[in-house]
């Protein structure tokens, strides 16, 4: 099977999300996946709706974003809403969605989490094996 993979990436905090994208694409390439398309959205909050609109066109998805805690509760609300939306989409569509939306307290923490793109790629590849 040659899966069609879609990566939806937030352009917000692009210095970080580009490194997550690089990590995911390298891993997909290592796994022999050649049919990969990425779509850019302004922020992490837009990722679930983009995936919902594309759900019928792809076999699996990787969501890439970065949310950094600020001075308000917005961080917690957005992170929770996105996580629930991605899980609901995955179950409803019966398609794996690798979650590489990292949540940080500061930008310095990002460098230790760039492998989350790779981890999301591995996760969807494993779920695609389940028949």
Query: How many domains does the chain contain in total?
Result: 1
15 lies in which domain range? Answer: 5-128
Q: What is the pLDDT along the chain (131 residues), one digit of tens a residue?
A: 689 999 999 999 999 999 999 999 999 999 999 999 999 999 999 999 999 999 999 999 999 999 999 877 788 889 999 999 999 999 999 999 999 999 999 888 888 999 999 999 999 999 999 87
Residue 101, pLDDT score: 96
Residue 46, pLDDT score: 97
SS (H, E, C) the chain: CCCCEEEEEECCCHHHHHHHHHHHHHHHHHCCCCCEEEEEECCHHHHHHHHHHHHHHCCEEEEEEEEECCCCCHHHHHHHHHHHHHHHHHHHHCCCEEEEEEEECCHHHHHHCCCHHHHHHHHHHHHHCCC
Rounded to whole angstroms, the maximal C-alpha distance in the chain is 47
Residue 1, pLDDT score: 64
CATH code of 51's domain: 3.40.50.960
pTM above 0.85, yes or no: yes
Both structure tokens of 103? 């949540």
Residue 111, pLDDT score: 87
């Amino acid at each position: 099977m040659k899966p069609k993979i879609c990566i939806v990436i937030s352009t917000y905090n692009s210095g970080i999300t580009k490194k997550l994208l690089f990590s995911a694409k390298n891993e997909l390439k290592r796994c022999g996946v050649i049919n990969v398309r990425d779509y850019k959205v302004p922020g992490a909050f837009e990722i679930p709706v983009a995936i919902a609109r594309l759900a019928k066109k792809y076999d699996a998805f990787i969501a890439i974003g970065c949310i950094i805690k600020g001075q308000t509760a917005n961080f917690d609300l957005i992170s929770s809403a996105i996580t629930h939306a991605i899980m609901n989409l995955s179950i409803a569509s019966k398609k794996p969605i690798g979650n590489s939306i990292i949540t940080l307290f500061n930008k310095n923490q990002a460098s230790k989490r760039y492998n989350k793109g790779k981890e999301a790629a591995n996760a969807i590849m494993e779920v695609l094996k389940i028949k």
